[in-house]
């Protein structure tokens, strides 16, 4: 498994090639058996002379039987060797060999043929679901630009060695952990810290995989190999997703282990009871083949194919449909768990908000107009690459404000910028910058919780610009969709100031919003919610600081596009598109999947019970048994595949 992960692309190509060749082989087997079965039935109906010979009939149908039966018989034998005596393969083998014994050749072939068709449908549906999940993972970083011999070489992250230097362009995600070699750069760290303020990292400081460079081309020295990264562990989690069975799936598997020996015993009793009764009542004529035929019908009907195939397929269908929409469920058990959610708790920064800045308002003194204040601040900030500076410059450009030439621009680390405009000294930055230069300013500026950029001309305060994070485009839609799904208890937990959190909550129509929370405070809040046994909680977050609450909730949902690796690994569901509205979509997919599976269980049990009674009483033939078994399995498979079309 480790080797496959190291050579992901090669493995996928080889696997696809093998799957293609297996699929062609299966098609040929099914086609050959179908042609021979239909041909045999037609020749029998037309009374072909040579076809009336018993040995000809037997050989013809044996040749039709073997292509589709041999794989099943092999599986049955393998199961018996591993002490699994009562598998579905054993049932199918016993029933069809018995049909041949009593001369019901077409029925014997038909049972295996339709079973093989059902298996083919199942395999294709599962493969499609797996491909959707694989496609979802393909959006993750696949290359690193490594500096080797003075040249940049594109390399897969797994082949980059510790100690090598890699280059990352502005807008790209850092593929590996390392130490900063460039002088300085600004990073979007919302995914890791949960805070909306970008972080400036300087030479020799640590850079983590998952951060996004926002301004400069940088170089870092790699400190950890790829296989130690969380990205490698995510791949492993996805590969193991199919092994995390849902409760319904686990129940059916346990049920089949008990159910199969019981029905084999009942089939034996269908033959034995009349045989014993014939000794008690001498007038009762016991014909072994007749009662064996009834027992075989009972066996074929009782085979739990529809349940064993369609229920796992239902969960695969749900997982596949979700992955196509950018939602990754890490197992069928989480599809079940999400259907019970009645409380949704959101982190704010990077989950409901963009994690980027926009100018919200501008306050100035009587000595200057708002337009002039924006012009001054934007002119100075145009020399900076900081995201806050870019937001102000972008705002000024949208307002068609022309910039003033600046000179002697100096950056004062952690404070802001100093520049000269028309022989005046202009200070642009935070309140600490004004304190540093002993500029008097209104004390209320220190109590403003939002991000502000202040300005002073020749040591005289003239005003400030207020910036804030913005709601994501579909944040309001997310809350509305959850309300439509009858989820009324929606809350926000955030490390941001209470006033900011309250403001966003009011815009979204959320009554309960809690700010000023450290990660441990979020955990305490969630523990308090969980004291109510009726509450089934989904927590939605994206930062490393959200990992504890993601693990504590009934269903942890992580934003995977910009989300931290820790959050993605801890979560049960990953939303790759970073859209909060997909939380409601995930719940909806879970509910549709559960409804389809319930339909399949009811259909399988209902039809089988009816035909079992008819078969045991001699009113159903082996053909009806074939329909009850394989026909119901096919219908259940089609119903499960329907999930893909129902979810858009």
DSSP letters, 541-587, are: E-SGGGHHHHHHSSEEEEE-SS--HHHHHH-SEEETT--TTHHHHHH
In angstroms, the CA 454 to CA 463 distance is: 6
Label residue 590 exposed, middle or buried (CB < 10 Å: 0-12, 13-18, 19+): buried
Q: For residue 539, what are its two tokens? A: 């927590």
Residues 246, 312: contact at Cβ < 8 Å? no
In angstroms, the CA 399 to CA 175 distance is: 37
> What is the bridge-based pairing of β-strands 489-493 and 416-421?
unpaired
Q: For residue 42, what are its two tokens? A: 């037609």
In angstroms, the CA 212 to CA 224 distance is: 18
In angstroms, the CA 637 to CA 297 distance is: 22
Helix (H) or strand (E) holding 426: strand 424-429
In angstroms, the CA 300 to CA 180 distance is: 68
Strand order from edge to edge, sheet including 460-471: 353-364, 460-471, 451-457, 424-429, 416-421, 407-412
Count of beta carbons in the 10 Å neighbourhood of residue 286: 14
**Who's near 105: CB < 8 A, 6+ residues apart?**
40, 57, 58, 60, 61, 62, 65, 99
Q: Which of 177, 215, 336, 347 is catalytic?
A: 347
Radius of gyration of the chain (CA): 34
What are the CA-CA distances from residue 428 to residues 119, 377, 386 (Å)?
69, 6, 13
In angstroms, the CA 397 to CA 406 distance is: 17
Q: Is 474 a catalytic site residue?
A: no
* Eight-state DSSP code of residue 404: P
Give SS3 for 420: strand
| Owner of token pair 């001699």 | 618
In angstroms, the CA 463 to CA 373 distance is: 7
Residues with catalytic roles: 347
């Amino acid at each position: 498994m480790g080797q496959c992960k190291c050579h992901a692309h090669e493995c996928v190509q080889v696997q696809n090639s093998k799957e293609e060749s297996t699929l062609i082989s299966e098609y040929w087997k099914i086609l050959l058996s179908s042609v021979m079965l239909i041909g045999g039935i037609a020749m029998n109906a037309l009374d072909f002379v040579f076809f009336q010979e018993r040995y000809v009939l037997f050989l013809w149908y044996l040749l039709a039987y073997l292509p589709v039966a041999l794989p099943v018989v092999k599986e049955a034998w393998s199961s018996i060797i591993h002490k699994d005596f009562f598998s579905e393969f054993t049932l199918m083998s016993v029933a069809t060999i018995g049909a041949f014994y009593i001369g019901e050749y077409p029925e014997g072939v038909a049972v295996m043929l339709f079973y093989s068709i059902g298996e083919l449908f199942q395999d294709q549906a599962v493969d499609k679901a797996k491909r959707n999940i694989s496609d979802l993972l393909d959006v993750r970083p696949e290359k690193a630009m490594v500096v080797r011999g003075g040249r940049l070489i594109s390399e897969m992250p797994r082949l980059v060695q510790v100690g090598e230097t890699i280059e990352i362009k502005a807008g790209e995600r850092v593929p590996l952990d390392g130490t900063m070699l460039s002088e300085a750069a600004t990073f979007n760290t919302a995914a890791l810290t949960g805070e909306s303020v970008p972080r400036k990292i300087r030479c020799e400081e640590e850079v983590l995989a998952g951060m996004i460079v926002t301004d400069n081309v940088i170089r870092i020295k790699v400190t950890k190999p790829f296989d130690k990264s969380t990205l490698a562990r995510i791949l492993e989690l996805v590969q193991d997703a199919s092994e995390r069975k849902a409760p319904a799936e686990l129940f059916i598997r346990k049920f089949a282990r008990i159910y199969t020996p019981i029905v084999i015993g009942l089939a034996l009793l269908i033959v034995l009871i009349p045989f014993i009764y014939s000794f008690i009542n001498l007038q009762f004529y016991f014909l072994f083949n007749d009662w064996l035929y009834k027992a075989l019908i009972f066996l074929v009907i009782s085979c739990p194919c529809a349940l064993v195939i369609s229920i796992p397929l239902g969960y695969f269908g749900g997982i596949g449909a979700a992955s196509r929409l950018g939602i990754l469920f890490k197992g069928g058990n989480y599809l079940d768990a999400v259907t019970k959610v009645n409380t949704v708790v959101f982190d704010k920064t990077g989950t409901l908000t963009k994690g980027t800045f926009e100018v919200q308002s501008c306050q100035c003194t009587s000595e200057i107009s708002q337009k002039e204040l924006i012009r001054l601040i934007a002119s100075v900030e145009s020399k900076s690459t900081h995201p806050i500076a870019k937001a102000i410059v972008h705002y000024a450009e949208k307002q068609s404000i022309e910039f003033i030439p600046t000179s002697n621009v100096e950056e004062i680390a952690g404070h802001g910028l100093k520049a000269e405009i028309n022989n005046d000294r202009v200070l642009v930055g935070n309140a600490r910058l004004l304190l540093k230069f002993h500029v008097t300013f209104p004390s209320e500026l220190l109590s403003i919780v939002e991000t502000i950029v202040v300005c002073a001309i020749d040591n005289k305060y003239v005003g400030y610009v207020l910036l804030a994070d913005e709601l994501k485009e579909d944040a309001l839609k997310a809350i509305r969709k959850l309300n439509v799904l009858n989820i009324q208890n929606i809350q926000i937990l955030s490390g941001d100031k209470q006033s900011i959190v309250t403001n966003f909550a009011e815009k979204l129509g959320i009554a309960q919003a809690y700010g000023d929370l450290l990660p441990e405070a979020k955990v305490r809040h969630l523990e308090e919610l969980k004291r109510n046994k009726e509450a089934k909680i989904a927590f939605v977050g994206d930062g490393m600081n959200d990992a504890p609450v993601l693990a504590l909730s009934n269903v942890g949902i992580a934003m995977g596009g910009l989300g931290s690796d820790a959050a993605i690994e801890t979560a049960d569901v990953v939303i790759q598109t970073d859209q909060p509205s997909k939380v409601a979509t995930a719940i909806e997919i879970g509910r549709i999947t559960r409804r389809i599976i319930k339909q399949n269980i009811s259909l399988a049990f209902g039809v089988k019970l009816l035909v079992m009674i008819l078969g045991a009483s001699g009113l159903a033939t082996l053909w009806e048994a074939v329909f009850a078994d394989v026909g119901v399995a096919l219908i259940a498979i089609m119903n499960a595949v329907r999930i893909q079309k129902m979810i858009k």
